[in-house]
Structure 1
Amino acid sequence: MGPLARKALRAGTGGLRGLLVGMTVGLVASAALAQRTATFFEPTAAKGPVVVLVSGAGGIQAYQEFGPRLAALGFYTVLVDGRDIMIPPWESPAPQGHAHLAAVIQAALSAPQASSSKAMLVGFSLGGAGVLVHGAPMKDQVAAVVAYYPATAVMGQDLAAVTARWQAPVLVLAGEKDTYRNCCLVATMRALESAPKQVPFELVIYPQANHGVNLESYPLFFRSEDAEDAWNRTVAFLQKYRPAHDR
């Protein structure tokens, strides 16, 4: 992998200073991979276990809020663009998603702020599909995977073949009323649940939720109670599956 270029930024004053020690913005560089900006959120302590956030198809902007929240809990957090990990059905050519995600994880684990030998992944929509397809099979690099309303339509017709490759525990959070681009239908979430797998799996379905239920920038879909419950479940899941020596 190429070098990880970083430009240090100082946290703002007041409450934000209390939440973040600092934030760095960099570029994951590799000649064979797409190059998009990755945002790094340093933990409140000197070091923390690694969490990689993978955005939806719209880019990282709508998901920026989750980095500081995880950093405040002590996680060293990296936010990357889901379009570098999983191809949307309306774009081409396909990026080398598995290699790119592996490179991002390795760079984060190698950082001085990282305290873990494995990363935990949280993906949203397109990024949710990406962490399920490319991240969950990474036995040596990934300790746990959370997928919010994953775009299962881009994961192929044989979901059993996807789940059979999983090597890390998986939590999926989905909306019963999600019809976004017909990519994230609840029926396919239940198909994931029923497919054979060798790892712990949990599916949580919110009966009144649509796509992007946890994103305040999507006011037509945002549901505060569901968003809070999903966040609490995410944090509990990450804490449960943190690599043992990080506890």
Structure 2
Amino acid sequence: MPSVATSLETGELSFGREDVRGYAAWPRGAHPRPGLVLVPDVRGLSEHYRDVARRFAAEGFFTLAVDLYSREGAPDLPDMAAVFRWMRALPDRRVLADLAAAVECLAGRSEVRADAIGITGFCMGGQYALMAACTVERLAACVSWYGMLRYAETDDIKPASPLDLAPGLVCPYLGLFGADDAIIPVADVATLGSILTRAEKAFELHVYPGAGHAFFNETRPDAYRPETAADAWRRALGFLRRHLQ
């Protein structure tokens, strides 16, 4: 999808007790708008996710892309083994506290409607978007793009997986997945659907045939699927507009 050039404001924001940073983009104009917290993938707040934040802003959302690595800097992840080691060691409580602080940051801004704040995330960020949507009461919508769902084991660093938290979902949820994702089995998506159905939660799940992990990321030519990405973008915008605007 092309980069956005329109009438936007952008800037860096700090929030939370430890001065977590983020990149904000929003449409010019005085009217309060829906807010959206954006959670990047495991590699952090890259230019790609700044661009995605601008795309959402161009659609009417005050968007805050969170830098989860404000403290230590983005990790060096040369291969998938390093990716999984890093994710395994990242404390869930810290991440979820940072995302809750991002939500409160948006809620306190005059440009944002405090009753219309959503969250979206990609890959690891999609995992944390769903987890936040089960733990942050103020959230009004969640869109998760190929977010991981299951933990091999739980401990103090990873006390509860997204599937464990799912019965506590506090807002409508849209999950976008690829049928050929080597990281997220389709069976896990089906399990999520069963859990949310039993808990009588409002949700939508869409699994794209022929798509794998990171199908929305045009900087990943091995994974990017333009038609799938366009359809998922349309679904995500429609869902957020229904629940936030």
- For the aligned pair, the TM-score class normalised by the smaller chain equals 0.7 to 0.9
1:27 equivalenced with 2:30 (yes/no): no
**Contact kept? 1:57, 1:83, Cα under 8 Å:** no
Q: 1:8 corresponds to which residue?
A: none
How far off is 1:118 after superposition?
3.8
**Contact kept? 1:124, 1:150, Cα under 8 Å:** yes
Identity %: 26
**Contact kept? 1:45, 1:74, Cα under 8 Å:** no
**After the TM superposition, which residues 124-203 of structure 1 pair with which residues of structure 2 at under 5 Å, given as runs?**
124-139=122-137, 141-154=138-151, 161-179=164-182, 182=183, 184-195=184-195, 196-203=198-205
Letter in 1 for 2:227: E
Residues 103-160 of structure 1 show CA distances to partners (whole Å, capped at 9, x for unaligned) of: 1100111112212324101111111111111223323x10011100002234968765
SS of aligned partner of 2:144: strand
How far off is 1:27 after superposition?
2.7
Q: Distance in 1 between matches of 2:166 and 2:230?
A: 27
**Contact kept? 1:43, 1:77, Cα under 8 Å:** no
154-163 vs 66-75, which moves further: 154-163
Structure number with the bigger relative contact order (C-alpha 8 A, sep ≥ 6) is: 2
**Contact kept? 2:146, 2:214, Cα under 8 Å:** yes
Over aligned residues, Cα RMSD in angstroms? 2.3
**Contact kept? 1:209, 1:226, Cα under 8 Å:** yes
Q: So what's the TM-score if we normalise by structure 2? A: 0.80
Q: Distance in 2 between matches of 1:123 and 1:159?
A: 13
Q: 1:60 corresponds to which residue?
A: 45
Q: Distance in 2 between matches of 1:107 and 1:213?
A: 30
Q: 2:241 corresponds to which residue?
A: 239
**Unaligned 5+ runs, structure 2:** 71-82, 155-159
**Contact kept? 1:54, 1:123, Cα under 8 Å:** yes
SS of aligned partner of 1:63: helix
Letter in 1 for 2:164: A
Q: Distance in 2 between matches of 1:213 and 1:235?
A: 17
